[in-house]
Chains A and B, each alone.
Chain A
């Protein structure tokens, strides 16, 4: 069975940095694009960033472009999100999600982790 486990969430002050990680198991991690999706308290889902298989393409939401960096380590089956210049608006539960499409095919997100909580507050 496919599993995704996020980690790294914390309470941080505005302007600080944080690195989130997602450990994958149960599938050929390097065959699939991966994404980060966040959900603020009582809010809807917001796609944050995605990275293609082989890391050839990385994409970001406008709200995080220039501040967040997505990366993947296929050997370790892990996904990361380096977040800089955090603001209270970045406070959310951050989910790691697997794209259903294999290789360069895009599809819905068929597996999600339980999320890791980021709170940005002084």
Chain B
């Protein structure tokens, strides 16, 4: 199975900050990469698919990029509602695999 390694596992940030989360695939997944946001007690929400395509309704402060097997989720001007856990997921092949998650906490 393809392993998805996210970094960091958690960090603290302030409202207005620009933050970056990285996800590295253990082998090539093309651009078949999605990012999700999960807040406590809620189901995950799709933010980005195809590595860099914003899902409908997601604010433009979220963006994604790819460089080989490295993927990045960037949040510009962090808002209070963005404090959450973020997961990457490859859908290049089965089994679909998620990263272990990155928790963004309030500083």
Contact = CB atoms under 8 A, between A and B. Distances in A.
A108 B55 contact: yes
Interface string B77-96: 00000000001010100111
Interface string A66-93: 0000000000000000000000000000
A45 B43 CA distance: 10
Interface in B17-66: 32, 34, 36, 38, 43-46, 48-50, 55
- Tell which of B48, B50, B98 has the most Cβ of chain A within 10 Å: B98
A58 B68 CA distance: 29
B55 A109 contact: no
B44 A44 contact: no
Contacts of A112: 43-45
Given A44-B100, A107-B50, A109-B46, A62 B1 contact: yes
Interface of B: 1, 32, 34, 36, 38, 43-46, 48-50, 55, 87, 89, 91, 94-101
